DNA sequence: CCTCTCATCGCTCATCTGAGCGTCAACAAA
DNA sequence: TTTGTTGACGCTCAGATGAGCGATGAGAGG
C-alpha cells in the first residue's frame, strides 16, 4: 500500500530478513520469534511491518500461467464473479492476434480443467473462441453445442465453421453445429431455418447447457463481427437504443440490461434468457476498446468467469469504481 | 519445510494466489477474506498453507547485499551470535580473491554502519581485513588500533602495513600501528619490543577497544598466515596440542578453548583475554576448508558477528548440529 | 445394498495477534 | 532550567487464529 520508507541499514535488514524468513517461510509465531531474539512480540510485529513496507520482503506468485492475481481478485470481487483470469501485460506492444492467442490458451486450459463428462458445452462464434478450441488437446466426452449461426466474412477462411465439430472430435462427444448464417435478412427466414431439423436439435440443447464459452464484442467498428456485418443504418439504429456490448449477437446496454432490437428477430442465436440460465459462462473480452463492453456484460450478471488482459481489466475496474466511489 | 505437493489446477492456483495477495500483501484477516469468498476461515487457512507448501507463493528478500537470510539466521542462533552475515554463493567457481573481496565489502559496509565516534576499532592482520579497509570510504572520527604485529611475506608487498594508518586517515582519528613483526624468534626479543614506546602505546589501547575486526585462520597449510610462517616442527608441535584455529596469532582447539603454546610467548598480538573483552568482535572466515576453524572460534564465545560464505556456513552448521542432534 | 477408506470440512478452545493508548527517553526550543 | 515534540516501546483487551477432533460425503470393494 504505502511507499518505500527509508531503506534501512544492512544490519537491520539482515535481522528483518531473518525474522521474516522465520515468520513467513518457517511459519513460526511472532511470540516464538520474539523469545528467540529477546525482543517483545510488538517489536517483531513492527519489524515485519516495516520490512514489508520497505519492500525488503516481497511476496511473489508462481502461477502456472502469466496471470495477475491482484487484478484478477479485484475484478472478481468488483463484479461478483466466480472467477476472473487477468492476463499479465506481456510485451509493451503486443499485437491483437498475439493477445488473442494468449487469451485463447488461458481459456483452453481453464475449460480442459473444469470440464467433466457430465457437461454440455456451448461455444459462441468468435475468433478468440476459435483460437481457444485450437489449443485444446483433451476434453472429457461431452456434447459440444454451437450457440449461434455462422458469421459471414473472414471466419469462413480460417475454417472456424469446424470449431464445434473439431472440439467434439477431441472430446468424443456429440456435436451440435448450426450450418446457417448468424444474421438473416428477415424474421420469416430466420424462423424457418430455426425449425430445420439439425438447427432445431441444436437449439433444443440450449436449455441443457452447463458451460458456455462466449466472446464479448463492443458495439463499434472492428470490435464486433456482428456490428461489422450490419448496414450503417442498422448499426446506428441499434447504437441509438443504447447498445454497448454484444455476446453471441445478443445486445446489452451500458447497465448490462438485455436489449431487444429489431436485430433480435433475425439472428440465429441463443437467447439472453437461455444464456443467463447456463451455470458457468466463460466470457473472453480483451483490449482496451472493449472495456466498456466488458463492464456492461459483467453487470448483466450473466458471466461467471471472465478472461481478459490487464489493460481491459484496469479500464473496467475504473468504470466500476467510478460508479461506487 | 515439506516438498512440493501436487501442482494444483489453474483455477485453484488463481484463487489461491488472489487469497494470498489479500492476506500477505494487503494484510486482510483470514476472517475477512473468508467472508468475501463465502468460505470458512479454516478453508482460507488451508488454501494459504497449501499455496506456500506448493511454492505457489514465494517470499523473496530484497536485501541491500547478497546475503542468505535463512542461513544467516540459522548460524546466528546455532552459535548464539549477535549477528551473522552469510554471503550467498555467487558463481559456481568463484576464486578465493573474488570471494575475499565480497566478504571484505560486506564487512566494510557493516563497520561503516555500526561505527560511532565513541568507538575504538581494532584490526587484526589478514588479507580479508586489508581488503575490507580498502572498501571503506567514510568512518566516524575514532582511533584505529592494530591488534598484532606485521606478518612477513606477501602482506608487505600489497602495502597492507598501511592498513591501520590508512583507515585512520579516512576516519580522522588516531592510528595505533605496530611496526614490528608478528612472530619473533624468542621470548626475550618479544618482550623487549613489547616495551618499545610506540608498541606499548598500541598495546595499551587493547583494553579500551569497543570493536574489533579479525580474520579466522585454520591450522593448516595456506589457511593461516601464521601457520605458513612457522617451521614444520613448530607447526606439528602446535597441531599435536589440538590447535584448529587461529585469530590474531592466538590459537583455539576444536572446542573453542584458548590454547597456550610456546608460540604464545613470542608473538606480538592482543591476548585471548583482551580480545574476549571487546564488546563487538567481527570475525571474517570463509571457504569450506576453514569451516572447522570457524566452528572452533565461534564456540569460544568471543565473536559477536560472523561474516562468512554459504559453503563455510553450511559446513559449520553441520558440525554444530552434529553435536546437538 | 453395506461398509470401509480417504479426504474434506468446520467446530471448540487455548493461544496468538493487532489497534489503540499511555509511558518514557531523547532532543530542541523557549 | 522547563516545556513541547517526536519516536520507540510495550501494555490491555477484543478479536483473530491454529491444533486437533469428529462429522460428513464420495468412491471402492464386498
CATH of domain A69-324: 3.40.50.1360
Which residues in chain A land under pLDDT 50?
1-6
pLDDT for A5 = 40
Check if residue B42 sits with its Cβ under 7 angstroms from strand D.
yes
pLDDT for A4 = 39
pLDDT for A156 = 53
Domain limits, CATH 1.10.10.10, in chain B? 10-53
Domain limits, CATH 3.40.50.1360, in chain A? 69-324
pLDDT for B5 = 40
* Residue found by looking up cell 590447535 in the block: B243
In chain C, which nucleotides are within 7 Å of a protein Cβ? 9-12, 15-20
**Residue A213 bridge partners (DSSP):** A123, A282
pLDDT for A157 = 54
Residues B14-30 have a mean pLDDT of 90
Residues B203/B80/B220/B251 CA torsion (nearest 10 deg): 30
Cβ-nearest to B56 among A13, A20, A61? A61
Cα A292 to Cα A302: distance, rounded to the nearest angstrom: 16
pLDDT for B4 = 39
Nucleotide lying nearest to A27, CA to C1' measure: D18
Judged by CB atoms closer than 8 Å, whether chains meet at A11 and B69 is answered as: no
pLDDT for A190 = 94
CATH of domain A10-53: 1.10.10.10
| Mean per-residue pLDDT over chain B, rounded | 90
pLDDT for B116 = 87
CA distance A116 to chain B (A): 14
Contacts of residue B56 in chain A, CB cutoff 8 Å? 61-63
Check if residue A200 sits with its Cβ under 7 angstroms from strand C.
no
pLDDT for B159 = 58
Least confident window among A69-83, B63-77, B88-102, B158-172: B158-172
pLDDT in tens, B130-158: 999 999 999 999 999 999 998 766 555 55
pLDDT in tens, B51-70: 888 888 888 898 888 999 99
pLDDT for B305 = 96
Q: Is the pLDDT of residue B15 over 70?
A: yes
Judged by CB atoms closer than 8 Å, whether chains meet at A18 and B70 is answered as: yes
- Number of helices (H) and strands (E) in chain A: give both, helices first: 15, 12
pLDDT for B2 = 36
For chains A and B, CB pairs below 8 A equal: 130
Of all helices (H) and strands (E), which one includes residue A176? Answer: strand A175-176
Cell digits of residue A205: 440443447
Check if residue B230 sits with its Cβ under 7 angstroms from strand C.
no
pLDDT for A189 = 94
Contacts of residue B14 in chain A, CB cutoff 8 Å? 63, 67, 69, 72, 83, 85
Interior CA angle at A19 toward A13 and A20, to 5°? 85
Q: Is the pLDDT of residue B271 over 50?
A: yes
Residue nearest to nucleotide C11 (CA to C1'): B42
Check if residue A30 sits with its Cβ under 7 angstroms from strand C.
yes
Judged by CB atoms closer than 8 Å, whether chains meet at B58 and A59 is answered as: yes
pLDDT for A162 = 79
Check if residue A40 sits with its Cβ under 7 angstroms from strand D.
yes
Residues B112-123 have a mean pLDDT of 91
- In Å, what is the CA distance from A105 to each residue of A26, A217, A256? 36, 19, 27
Residues B77-104 have a mean pLDDT of 91
Check if residue B57 sits with its Cβ under 7 angstroms from strand D.
no
Nucleotide lying nearest to A43, CA to C1' measure: D9
pLDDT for A90 = 77
Amino acid at each position: 500500500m504505502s511507499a518505500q520508507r527509508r531503506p534501512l541499514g544492512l544490519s537491520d535488514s539482515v535481522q528483518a530478513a531473518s525474522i521474516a524468513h522465520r515468520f513467513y517461510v518457517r511459519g513460526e509465531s511472532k511470540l516464538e520469534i520474539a523469545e528467540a531474539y529477546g525482543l517483545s512480540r510488538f517489536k517483531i510485529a513492527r519489524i515485519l511491518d516495516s520490512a514489508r513496507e520497505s519492500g525488503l520482503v516481497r511476496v511473489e506468485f508462481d502461477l502456472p500461467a502469466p496471470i495477475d492475481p491482484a487484478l484478477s481478485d479485484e475484478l472478481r470481487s468488483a463484479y461478483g464473479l466466480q472467477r476472473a483470469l487477468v492476463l499479465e501485460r506481456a510485451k509493451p506492444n503486443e499485437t491483437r492476434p498475439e493477445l488473442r492467442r494468449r487469451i485463447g490458451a488461458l481459456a483452453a486450459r481453464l475449460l480442459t480443467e473444469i470440464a467433466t463428462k457430465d457437461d454440455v458445452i456451448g461455444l459462441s462464434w468468435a475468433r478468440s473462441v476459435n483460437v481457444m478450441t485450437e489449443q485444446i488437446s483433451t476434453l472429457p466426452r461431452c456434447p459440444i453445442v454451437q450457440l449461434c449461426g455462422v458469421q459471414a466474412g473472414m471466419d469462413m477462411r480460417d475454417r472456424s465453421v469446424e470449431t464445434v465439430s473439431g472440439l467434439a472430435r477431441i472430446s468424443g462427444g456429440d456435436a451440435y453445429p448450426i450450418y446457417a448464417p448468424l444474421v438473416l435478412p428477415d424474421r420469416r427466414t430466420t424462423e424457418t431455418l430455426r425449425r430445420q431439423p439439425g438447427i432445431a436439435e441444436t437449439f433444443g440443447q440450449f436449455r441443457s447447457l452447463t458451460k458456455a464459452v462466449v466472446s464479448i464484442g463492443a458495439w463499434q467498428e472492428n470490435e464486433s463481427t456482428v456490428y461489422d456485418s450490419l448496414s450503417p443504418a442498422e448499426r446506428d439504429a441499434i447504437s441509438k437504443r443504447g447498445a454497448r456490448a454484444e455476446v453471441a449477437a445478443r445486445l446489452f446496454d451500458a447497465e448490462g440490461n438485455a436489449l431487444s432490437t429489431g436485430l433480435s428477430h433475425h439472428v440465429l442465436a441463443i437467447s439472453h434468457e437461455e444464456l443467463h440460465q447456463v451455470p458457468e459462462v466463460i466470457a473472453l473480452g480483451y483490449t482496451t476498446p472493449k472495456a466498456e463492453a466488458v463492464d456492461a456484460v459483467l453487470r448483466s450478471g450473466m458471466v461467471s468467469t471472465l478472461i481478459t488482459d490487464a489493460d481491459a481489466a484496469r479500464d473496467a475496474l475504473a468504470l466500476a469504481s467510478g460508479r461506487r466511489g
